[in-house]
Structure 1
Amino acid sequence: MKHDKIERNLGLMLVLTMLAISAGGLVEIVPLFFIKDTVESVKTADGKEMVHPYSPLELRGRDIYIREGCYLCHSQMIRPFRDEALRYGHYSLAAESKYDHPFQWGSKRTGPDLARVGGKYSNDWHVQHLTAPRSMVPESVMPNYPWLIKTPLDTSDIGLRMAALRVTGVPYSKGEAEYQQNVKTFGEDVAKNLRIENAEANLRAQAASGNYDNNPSDVTEMDALVAYLQVLGTMVDFKQFDDDYFVKFR
């Protein structure tokens, strides 16, 4: 009888539904804040963190990846199942997404998962695939993105983008003290690319040295997107995990 009264009272049912959802969400989420290994600490032999924030060029590439809706057809989350491991490699670690705002786990795979795509193909392959996908993968349903290689990359606000992420906890550095802390955490080679004051210069330097679009004289959106794709899955040395993980599949 009481249940019948609740169902007939729309306002009361809405309030009780929200309370039930809130309680369930809290039960699932709150404990994660108190579990120290929710986000794994993945370190090198000398104690440096393997997973680090994106460089300015990679960060702009990620922005373009989101702008073009790539996440709608490609996930970046390998699940801990045998078929996933055999195709893509080690399952995704929480630590790999710790500096992603928002994360790119995705919910659909029209195309393959991209969590480990970095280094799998050459820069030339990515440029051609993004320009004309079916020239590389005949069965692909991916749209063409020919404008990326023709469009100069807007680098004017890269410092502001990094500063905004710094507010969310991403350790881009302002000043010498924060830079030195990043040197201790990530090593000097990584830390120098995390300095907000040098963001535009670092972006252009990486684009020129990486030659992602085969045109070192200019920085295009293709440079940025390929740089982003080439870093995915390359930060963690999974050799230290493989023995324990793959033993269950033998």
Structure 2
Amino acid sequence: MKHDKIERNLGILLVFTMLAISAGGMVEIIPLFFIKETVEKVEGVRPYTPLEQRGRDIYTREGCYLCHSQMIRPFRDEALRYGHYSLAAESKYDHPFQWGSKRTGPDLARVGGKYSNDWHTQHLIAPRSLVPQSVMPNYPWLASTELKYDDIQDRMKALRRVGVPYSNSQVEYERNVKEFGETVAKQLHIPDAEKNLVAQAQLGNYDTDPSNISEMDALVAYLQVLGTMVDFKKYDDDYFVKFR
């Protein structure tokens, strides 16, 4: 009878349902915060530079994630097409991460270095000029829109608050030197963010137009770093043995 009363009373049923969901969620999630091996430590993974981070912001702003996942599954056909399956550690500095199950276009987890800057720029401006069967929209305004980066320090500080190891003091900078090396640590130092962003954009010339720093510069810089941080030669041999 008590069970029948609970099912007939919407308020009580809702309360008990929420309690059950909360208890189940805590049992599954809380232990992960105390297991050191939840995210494996992988050599080479680092936070994004200021320019790459702005490119990632543009990537999410334009909804690129709706058609392109960044998650290679541990299946033979995926490994043969894209490379080594995605590691959790590769996304530990991503907020939000770009894993997903929807692909209208190819997975982009390993796209970095696969094509030239010129190719990416032309592909974003007019996809069908390079891939006739593409259904991707054109993004010509990225090349003509000046990149806004006067708030890059605030963006990095926000990410720092959720665990991304950008440095804002000498102590944190020295920590990053030990963790990532001096060259990378300089890129992760918040007080020098604008200077570092401009320097990387001018040196990389990602949009093939050195006269300005555009949103195209930032987006291509982000695409070119995807999948390049980890040396997968250390993993591939053991991985592909499974499929022989």
Shared fold (TM-score greater than 0.5)?
yes
5 Å-filtered alignment, 1:188-207, equals: 188-207=182-201
1:224-249 CA distance string (max 9 Å, x none): 00000000110011111112211111
**One-letter code of the match for 1:72?**
L
What pairs with 1:206-245 in structure 2 (closer than 5 Å)?
206-245=200-239
Task: Write the mapping of 1:71-86 to structure 2, written as runs, cut at 5 A.
Answer: 71-86=65-80
Aligned partner of residue 249 in structure 1, secondary structure: coil
1:183 & 1:82 partners in 2: Cα distance? 38
How much is the aligned-residue C-alpha RMSD, in angstroms? 1.2
What's the counterpart of residue 165 of structure 1?
A: 159
Instruction: Map 1:1-250 to 2 at 5 A.
Output: 1-43=1-43, 50-250=44-244
Q: Distance in 1 between matches of 2:227 and 2:89?
A: 11
How far does residue 88 in structure 1 lie from its aligned partner after superposition? 1.2
TM-score (norm 2): 0.96
Q: Separation in 1 of the partners of 2:24 and 2:85?
A: 27
Distance 2:233 2:111 in 1: 17
Deviation (angstroms), 1:140: 1.1
Provide the identity percentage: 79
C-alpha distance after superposition, 1:122-181 (max 9, x if no partner): 111110110011111111111110000000000111111111111111111112221111
Counterparts of 1:159 and 1:211, CA distance in 2: 22
Structure 1 residue 2: deviation in Å?
A: 4.4
- Aligned letter for 1:243? D
Gaps (5+ residues) in structure 1? 44-49
SS at structure 1 position matched to 2:242: helix
- Measured against aligned partners, the alpha-carbon deviations of 1:30-72 in whole angstroms (never above 9, x if no partner) come to 22222221111112xxxxxx11110000000000001101111
State the AA in 2 paired with 1:111.
G
Q: Deviations over 1:76-110 (max 9, x none)?
A: 11111222211111111111111111111133111
Shift of 1:4: 3.5
Q: TM-score, normalised by structure 1?
A: 0.94
